[in-house]
Amino acid sequence: MATGGSVTRLEISPVFGGRLLERHFSWIVAGGEYAGRLSGFAPAGDLSYFVTVALPHVLLAPIGAALARRAARGRTAFGFGAALAAALQPLASLTGDAYEAASIPITRLARVAGFSAALDLRGDDVAKVAARAVSLGSPAAWTVFVAGCLGGVALVALLLVVSGGVAPRPEPATSPG
C-alpha cells in the first residue's frame, strides 16, 4: 500500500498462524498451498511489485541474524533456533520470492528488448514458471527464466552477506592499561 498497490487477500497456512490472523484482519485467509501468498495483490507498477515481494525478506533476514548472534552470545538455544529460522529464511525463498523479485527487472528488460511474452515468466513458484517457459518453446523464454533463477540466487546471497551472518562476532581486543 505504501508504494501505491493494494492487497485484498493474503493466504497464510494455518501452521504459520493463518487461523489466528484471519480473525483480526479481513484480508487474511487461512489456507492455500504455500506458507504465505498474496493472492489478491494489485501492484501500482514494477517498483511496487518488487518492494512488496522483497521487503519482508529485507527486514526479516537482518533482524533474524542480529537476534541469532545475540542468542548465541547468551547461549539461548531456543532463541537461537527461532532467530536462525528468520535469518536463513531467504534460502527457503529461492524457488519462490527470490526468483520472483529477480524476475521483475529481468522480464521488464526482456520485454523492452522485444520478447513480448517475458512478463509471463514472473511468478512465485519456479516449477510453475519453468512449465510456462516450456510452453513458450523459445530460447528467449529459457534465457529469461535462467537469468531469473541466477538473479534470485544472487539476491539471496547478497541478503545473507548484508545481514552479517549468525555467528557471534569476536569481542574487540582491549589494550591493557
Identify the residue with better confidence: 120 or 31.
120
* Per-residue three-class SS string for 4-34: CCEEEEEEECHHHCHHHHHHHCCCEEECCCC
What pLDDT is attached to residue 175?
A: 64
Number of domains in the chain: 2
22 and 101 assigned to the same domain:
no
Q: Do residues 54 and 70 share a domain?
A: yes
92 plus 141 within the same structural domain: yes
- Do the domain assignments include residue 112? yes
Does residue 171 belong to any structural domain of this protein?
A: no
Task: Select from 158, 49, 39 the least CA-distant residue to 105.
Answer: 49
Give CA separation, 51 vs 40, 108, 126, 155, 176, in Å.
16, 15, 19, 13, 49
35 and 50 belong to one structural domain: no
Total residue length of the chain: 177
Is residue 104 pLDDT above 90, yes or no? yes
- Specify if 71 maps to a domain: yes
129 shares its domain with 51: yes
Is a pLDDT exceeding 60 seen at residue 177? no
Q: Which domain holds residue 139?
A: 45-163
**Chain mean pLDDT for the chain:** 90
Assign 161 a pLDDT band (cuts: 50, 70, 90). Answer: very high
**Residue 15 confidence class, pLDDT cut points 50, 70, 90:** confident
Mean pLDDT of 80-103: 93
| Digit-coded pLDDT (tens) for 111-134 | 999 999 999 999 999 999 999 999
**DSSP symbol at 3:** T
Confidence bin at 26 (pLDDT 50/70/90) = confident
Assigned domain for 65 exists: yes
Question: Do 90 and 122 reside in the same domain of the chain?
Answer: yes
Asked if 13 and 30 touch (Cβ cutoff 8 Å), the reply is yes
Whether 109 and 144 share a structural domain:
yes
Q: Is a pLDDT exceeding 70 seen at residue 32?
A: yes
In angstroms, the Cα distances linking 25 to 16, 30, 40, 60 are 15, 11, 14, 21
Task: Flag whether pLDDT at 95 surpasses 90.
Answer: yes
pLDDT tens figures, 129-156: 999 999 999 999 999 999 999 999 999 9
Does one domain contain both 62 and 112?
yes
Structure-block grid coordinates of residue 34: 504455500
> Of 10, 27, 42, which marks where a domain is finished?
42
Pair (125, 157) in one structural domain: yes
What is the reported pLDDT for 116? 94
